[in-house]
Amino acid sequence: MKYHERMSSKDRVEKLYKGEELDRVPFFSNSTIYAGVLGRLKSEEFYLNQERSYEVQRLTLDLHNCDGNPAFDFPGYAGLFFGGEIKFKDNPHFGLPILKPFVKSLDDIDKLVMPNLNKNPHLKERINFLKILDKNGVSISITMGSPLEIAGNICDTRLLLKLFSKNTDKLHLLLKYATNYLKQLGDITIEMFGVDKCSCSANFPIDSLISPKLFEMYSLPYFYEIYEYFKKKGVKSYSLHLCGNHNKKLNYFKEMNLPEKTFISLDEKIDLEFADSILGDKYILGGNVSTSILMSGSPSEVYNASRNIITKNKFRDGGFVLMPSCTLPPYTPPLNVFAMYRACEDFGRY
């Protein structure tokens, strides 16, 4: 059965953040890379041609009745500012960029120089995309990292993780470079578009690989520093994606005391009801249809998984969004994406 949408996507999302009555559960698809595949773009074109990237993302969102917006999603991007190299490979299909970070040894850390982002040619990729968003009335996102994720763009990830057991002074140095990079990038964005148009977002994939104790000692203080920095700048809207298993770190995110209606999306390794019991109803939660089911399951399996998540969470006081547990896999069958939306129609109505 096809339902008539009583609200536009824009109105639905605005009312979600205001805590007002909705027509149905919102649906975000996280379909950045998937859109590139659907639009038959080569990876280099998707990441470096901002007009085409925006176009295929917008069309894909419209095709699947998604409530989100196009986004600048360029894996390894920060590494380019620190001397890293990226290769684009389509063998024969669309492939993620392959980052060769500058730091591959301890000695390389001492060779790092803090870049002047305004003078770096790679800045234009992000700024050009943000200008397109601004032209189309979409909020401008400032990345807050996480700092550890940015450090993983600067340094080989295996070496980075080894620094936690020894050479912690080198780890701190990398995190300071990452923090300064994020502040500088945010300052440029605010100066160009104005703080009232900006929101902040952060992703925590590498943070999921370390213990709560190490997270508290090393990653968290730098994230706090960035959050306080942009809060003082006047940024009022925030979103976090907890990528991977953060079940034992949820209390840290609660204690961050982020603004009411901060949007927190959850990996499938984090149970939504458990997260709700820790984080409370202050925040909007999003999630968390398994990307494995989306990639390899049937439409009916995706539909049933989405139904179960919706029926358990649609009435939570803080607000809820149905979405994949992470970035939508690029070769997800389109009928599986439609199955998520159809579940929102069938079970997400208020």
- Any domain includes 2: no
- Any domain includes 233: yes
Handedness of CA 145, 149, 154, 160 (dihedral sign): positive
Any idea what the CATH number is for the domain that residue 96 is in?
3.20.20.210
Q: What is the pLDDT of residue 294?
A: 98
- Any domain includes 4: no
Indicate the number of domains in the chain.
Answer: 1
Weakest mean pLDDT among 20-24, 54-58, 66-70, 93-97: 93-97
300-321 pLDDT, tens digit per residue, is: 999 999 999 999 999 999 999 9
Q: What is the pLDDT of residue 89?
A: 84
- Any domain includes 302: yes
Please state whether the predicted TM-score (pTM) of the whole model is above 0.85: yes
- Any domain includes 3: no
For the chain, give the percent of residues with pLDDT over 90.
95
Domain that holds residue 163: 9-347
Q: What is the pLDDT of residue 2?
A: 53
- Any domain includes 1: no
Reported confidence tier of residue 1, pLDDT bands at 50, 70, 90: very low
221-272 pLDDT, tens digit per residue, is: 999 999 999 999 999 999 999 999 999 999 999 999 999 999 999 999 999 9
- Any domain includes 277: yes
131-169 pLDDT, tens digit per residue, is: 999 999 999 999 999 999 999 999 999 999 999 998 999
189-221 pLDDT, tens digit per residue, is: 999 999 999 999 999 999 999 999 999 999 999
Reported confidence tier of residue 91, pLDDT bands at 50, 70, 90: confident
Taking Cα atoms as reference points, which of 348, 322, 313 lies closest to residue 29?
Answer: 322
